Structure 1
């Protein structure tokens, strides 16, 4: 993966030098690192759907800021879980719905596989 990133960077530098073109590079899903709050990381990501409307948050508890609301049936792929205060929280990426593409924490009890 490092070689691919270097090729993209080199190609961008060549384009900028040659004609002043604008190039934006977005990290791939594999480039997103797992948060330190994760206490258990799945071997493979789990695809789930929300069972009700639920907040997606910046951290694994209701004390963290909500960055959106996932409607019932929204797709959510989770990569790890955390157990603060005995509650289960899943960290992952929203895969469908109005907040598709956002990464964050969802209360695990509101997800179904």
Structure 2
């Protein structure tokens, strides 16, 4: 358990024991959990760039909603891949450009290391 999480847990316990209000804490970026669709997880994240304009999607196929368009050369760090219909999709975080900070799926053929 991270130190920050321990502090939050301890503070919450003290407040509740003392009759204080409940404490709500938003998860940090590092707390984003890997989607269940991941079929292969890299040992270390892969830093890549997009080779063309490509959709960032909520799931690993074109049937999922686009949550942004990544222009050519956008940084994307991917952590796992899925190949639901024989096509590879990478899940990760956008690291540059207008959608920096968003998590989602990108068609793997549009990424280069």
Distance apart, 1:28 and its partner CA: 3.0
Mapped to 1, the partners of 2:25 and 2:40 lie a distance apart of 33
Q: Deviations over 1:33-84 (max 9, x none)?
A: 1100000000000000000000000000000000000000000000000001
Alignment of 1:3-18 (within 5 A): 3-8=3-8, 10=11
Distance apart, 1:4 and its partner CA: 2.0
Alignment of 1:16-95 (within 5 A): 25-29=26-30, 31-95=31-95
Q: Deviations over 1:4-52 (max 9, x none)?
A: 21314639x98xxxxxxxx9744132x1111000000000000000000
Alignment of 1:96-111 (within 5 A): 96-111=96-111
RMSD of aligned Cα (Å): 2.0
Looking at secondary structure, tell me which structure has more helix per residue.
1
Mapped to 2, the partners of 1:88 and 1:25 lie a distance apart of 32
Mapped to 1, the partners of 2:60 and 2:29 lie a distance apart of 23
Aligned length: 103
